[in-house]
A and B are shown apart, each in its own frame.
Chain A
C-alpha cells in the first residue's frame, strides 16, 4: 500500500532468546555455600525461594533448619493453593498468565508480543520476542528501537491520543512511558526520557487503555482487583477497586470516552461510566470474557466468551439527565451472531471449515466493519479471519462479508484496524511467517452517504430556486 511501511520480522530476532527461563541450566555446577544460594533465591523469588533452596540442599544444613523450612513451605503452599483454588490463574507463572490474557493469539510463539497503531497518523509500534520495541513512522526508513532494562515480557502497547509521540508500554513490573520524538533522528532513543510508573502488587501489567482525551491512562493486571488510573504527567495513580473477580484481564475505553469496559478472569465483567466512576456488573456469563469492542458512539458493546462460539451484544441507553451519572446498560446481553463451526465450499470448489471460538474482535472507527480472529483448534480451521459488515442504527445489524486468507502455512496472530483512514478502513494482520499485511477496505460510511444525500437534495432545491441568479 502507498505510504505504508513494508514490515517483515526476521526470524533471528526472536529465536535468540527463546529459552529465557532455562538460562540457569546453561551454566556449570557451582560450589557456593547453601546460605549464599539462599540469599540469591531471596533476591530472585523472595522468602519461599529461600525455603525451597534449603529443603533442596538438605544434606548441607542442620536437620532442624531443613525441618522448619519444609514445614513452613508446606504451609505457604497450602494457603496459596487455597487461594489459588478460588482463582486458578493466581498460581500461574507470569509468562503463562500473559499468554492466557494477551490479545495476541498464541503469545509465546508469535513473532510479535504486542502491536499498536497510532490513533491519528500512519505510525505503529510492535514489541518483539526479545522485548525490544520497533516504531515505524509512515514510509520513513528510520525505525527507532526502544530498549530499557525494565522492559520485560511486554504484554501491551498503547499510543497516547491527542499527542504525537507518547507510547505506554505494559511490562512485567511496571508501565513505561516513552517519548518517541517524531523529529529526532536517533535510532536508539535514550532511556533518560522514560517515565516509570510502578505500583506494588500490580504486576504483571497486561492491559492498557488511554482515555480518548489522552489525559488518563488505565492499567490492569490479572492478579490485582484494582484498575490503576494514572495521571501520567504528575506520575500519580488512583486505584479503582471493587470486590470480586480476582483481577482485571481486559480494559476497553469506549471511543466517545464515556464508558470503560473491564473484564475479570472469572465469570463477571463491569462497565464503568467516566464522570463519577461508578460501575455496573454483569455476572452469570458462561465463561471468562475473552474479547470485547465498543461501537464508535459507545452505545453498543460486543463481547465473546472463552467457551462459546457466540458474539454477544449489550446495548447502552444514552443518559437522559446529564447531571446524573448513568451507565444504562441493558439487563442482559443478546446473542448477536452464532459462529459455530461450519463447512463451506470455497471458490475453488474445495470444502473448508470455519467458525469456532473467538480470540479477538476489532471494530473499525466508522462502525461499519467487524473483523474476528478465530481460535485455532489444532490447525484444522483454515480461514481464521472473518469479516462482517455492521450497521449501528437504532438496532445493530451484522451480516457476513468475507474471509481473509494468508499464505497457505501462515497463521494469523494479531488483527487490528488502523484508527484513522479516510476511504474506509485498513485492517492490519501479523502472520506467523513474520509478515505484516494491510488490507484496505474501501467503502463510504452510511452516515456520510446519508449526509451527502441530504446535502444533494437540498442543493438541488436551492439550485432550482436560485438558478437565475447564479447564471
Chain B
C-alpha cells in the first residue's frame, strides 16, 4: 500500500513546489529589468540613462541572459527544497551551530549557492556592459591581454554573497516553515511580506559588503595572482585591492546593487516556497494524519467546518463504533501526553539538580580519600563532574577538556551555552501539540450542540485530564526553568522562541473554552480529585 508520505509528495507537495517555482520564474523578468534599469543609473544624464537601459532590455542578448538566469534559479530552487523544515533547529552553543552548518546536505547547498552566485554575477556583468563585461581586456598598444579586475571583483563578490546567503538561510531560520496565524490568500501573504524581505535583503547586503571590502583589501591579491598566473594575463594598470581602488563609488554602487539583487532573488523564491507549502490543505477524514498540515487542518476544521465535524461525530457501521473520533482523539492525546512526559522529566531534572549540589559539597568530608579529593578539586567547577573516576573514566577527561576550554576567552565564545537553548529545544516541535490542543477543545465545544451520539463527551474526562496535566506541568516549568523574563530576551528572540508562550496561552484558552461551554456541568464529571481541584480554578476564573 502506498504510504501517506509518498501520496502527499506526489499529490500535494510537487504541485505546490511547482507553483512556487513557476511564480519565481514569472517574476524574474520584472526583477531583472528593474535591476538593469537601476544598474544603468546615471545621475547627470537621465535621458541617456533611460534610453540606454531600454535598449539593453530589448536586446537579444538580454533575453538569452535572462533565460540562463531562469535556468540557474530553477536549479537553485529545486536543490534547496530539502532544506526547508517545520521543526526549527536549535543550536546549544555557537560551535554547535557551526557544526550544524557542516552536516551533510548543507555543504552541498552551499556549493549550489556559491556556483549560482558566480553564474548570476557573470550574467549581471554582461548586462552591465562597459568596464565590467569581460575578465580580460586587450591592450590597445599590443596584442596581449590583461586582467580586468572590476569583473573579477564582482564575481568574487557574487561567490561571497552565495556563501553569506547560505548562512543567512540556516542561521536566521529562513528555512523554517512558520504557519501564519491568518490563512489569507497567497497573493496577499506575499504582498504583505515582500517589502520586509526586500528590506532584510538590503540590510544583509550592506552588512556583508562592509566585511567584503576590508577582506578584499587584505586577501584580494591571492585570487588575482592565481588567475594572472594560470591564464597568463598581464596585471591590470589600476588595481582594485588598494585603498584608492576601493574608493570607486561606481564600483561600490554596482556591488551593493548586485548584492541586493542576488539576495532578494533567493529570498523571494524562498518566500514563495514558504507561502505555498504552509497553505492550508483539506484532508479526507478517513485517512490517517500527515503530521503538520494534518494537524493544522484538524484545528481548522474543528473550528470552521460543521460538515466535516459531523463526520468525526458520526458512528461507523457496522457496529456503531465512533472509529473516526477514537482515532483522532488517540492521535491528539498521544502527542499531548508525549509532550507532557518530556516537560515533566525536564521539571524533575531541575528538581533533582538542587539537592545534588548540596551533597557534593559534603562528600569530600565524608570520603576522606586524598586521591579522590585531589581529583575533585580539579573538576570542581563542572557541575556534573563526578568523583567516581573508575566508572566514568571515558567521559571525565572529555568533560574536563570542555570545562577547561570554556574558561578560555576564544573558545568560550563558541562553547558557551545559549541561555535558552534547552527550553527552545524542549518546545521546538510544540506547534503540533498546540494544534492538537486547539482541535480537542474545539471538538469538545462543538459537541455541546452537534454531537448527537455523545461520542466526544464520553471521552471528555480523559481529554480534560490530559490538558490539565499538561497545563500544570507547563506552569511548573515556567516557574522553575524559565528564569529570564520575556522582556529581557526579546531582543535576541528568534522565530521559534515564542512557541512556549503560545503553548501556555493555547492551553489556558482551550480549557476556558471548554469551561465556558459546559459551565457547572463539568463538576459532575468523574475526574481525579487533583484534576477537579484544578478545574475549579478555571470555573471560578482564577487562572
Contact = CB atoms under 8 A, between A and B. Distances in A.
A276 B501 contact: no
B467 to A, nearest CB: 13
Nearest to A237: B181
A160 B506 CA distance: 12
Contacts of A33: none
Interface stretch (B25-33, B57-65, B153-161, B184-192): B184-192
B180 interface: yes
Interface string B491-505: 001000011011011
A322 B185 contact: no
Given A192-B485, A214-B509, A234-B499, A229 B306 contact: no
A233 B434 CA distance: 12
Contact of B541 (A182, A192, A213, A214): A182
Contact of B486 (A164, A195, A215, A278): A195
B261 to A, nearest CB: 25
A41 interface: no
B513 interface: yes
Contacts of B307: 322
Nearest to A230: B181
B361 interface: no
A232 interface: yes
Interface in A142-159: none
B136 to A, nearest CB: 48
A182 B539 CA distance: 13
A278 B185 CA distance: 7
A306 interface: no
Given A120-B512, A322-B304, A232 B192 contact: no
Given A192-B485, A236-B498, A276-B183, A162 B513 contact: yes
B508 interface: yes
A163 interface: yes
Interface residues of B, number: 41
A239 interface: yes
Nearest to A138: B541
A277 B487 contact: no
Nearest to B309: A322
Contact of B505 (A118, A229, A233): A233
Given A120-B516, A238-B192, A275 B304 contact: yes
Interface string A75-118: 00000000000000000000000000000000000000000001
Contacts of A52: none
Interface in A211-238: 213-216, 229, 231-236, 238
Contacts of B506: 215, 233
B182 interface: yes
Given A213-B303, A233-B504, A120 B185 contact: no
B374 interface: no
A182 B509 contact: no
Contact of A238 (B180, B185, B508): B180
Given A121-B541, A234-B501, A213 B513 contact: yes
A163 B192 contact: no
B463 interface: no
Given A164-B543, A214-B509, A215-B181, A277 B305 contact: no
B304 A213 contact: no
Contact of A216 (B181, B188, B308, B516): B181
Contacts of A441: none
A379 B504 CA distance: 50
B82 interface: no
Contacts of A68: none
A232 B505 contact: yes
A233 B512 contact: no
A11 interface: no
Contacts of B182: 216, 229, 238, 240, 277
Contacts of A182: 541-543
Given A238-B192, A323-B282, A164 B541 contact: yes
A241 interface: yes
B293 to A, nearest CB: 16
A276 B180 CA distance: 12
A183 interface: yes
A215 B504 CA distance: 12
A452 to B, nearest CB: 17
Nearest to B496: A234
B542 A183 contact: yes
B55 to A, nearest CB: 34
Interface in A389-432: none
B479 to A, nearest CB: 13
Contacts of A192: 485, 487
B181 A163 contact: no
A114 to B, nearest CB: 22
Contacts of A213: 303, 509, 513
A162 B498 contact: no
A182 B305 CA distance: 35
Contact of B192 (A121, A241, A275): A241
Contacts of B486: 193, 195
Contacts of A165: 543
B510 interface: yes
Contacts of B304: 275, 322
Nearest to B498: A234
Interface string B40-70: 0000000000000000000000000000000
Contacts of A215: 181, 438, 506, 509
B183 to A, nearest CB: 6
Interface string A158-180: 00111111000000000000000
A276 B516 contact: no
A50 to B, nearest CB: 26
Contacts of B485: 192-193
Chain A CB count within 10 A is highest, among B180, B182, B183, B516, for: B182
A233 to B, nearest CB: 4
B427 to A, nearest CB: 12
Nearest to A212: B513
Contacts of B490: 235
Nearest to B300: A275
Nearest to B500: A233
Nearest to B504: A233
B502 A231 contact: yes
B542 to A, nearest CB: 5
A447 to B, nearest CB: 13
A323 B303 CA distance: 13
Contacts of A162: 508-510, 512-513, 516
Nearest to A218: B182
A276 B184 contact: yes
Contact of A235 (B185, B192, B498, B542): B498
Nearest to B442: A213
Contacts of B499: 234
Q: In this complex, which of A120, A192, A213, A216 has the most chain B Cβ atoms within 10 angstroms of its Cβ?
A: A213
B490 to A, nearest CB: 8
A370 to B, nearest CB: 24
A162 B543 CA distance: 11
Nearest to A231: B181
A163 B305 contact: no
A4 B411 CA distance: 63
B185 A229 contact: no
Nearest to A420: B516
Contacts of A123: 541
A276 B512 contact: no
9 contacts: A120-B541, A183-B542, A192-B487, A214-B512, A229-B181, A229-B182, A240-B188, A277-B182, A322-B307
Interface of A: 118, 120-121, 123, 160-165, 182-183, 192-193, 195, 213-216, 229, 231-236, 238-241, 257, 275-278, 322-323
Given A161-B509, A164-B512, A236-B181, 9 more contacts: A163-B505, A214-B505, A216-B182, A231-B498, A233-B498, A233-B501, A233-B504, A235-B493, A322-B308
Q: 7 closest pairs, A vs B, by CB?
A: A234-B498, A162-B509, A233-B502, A164-B541, A162-B512, A233-B501, A233-B505
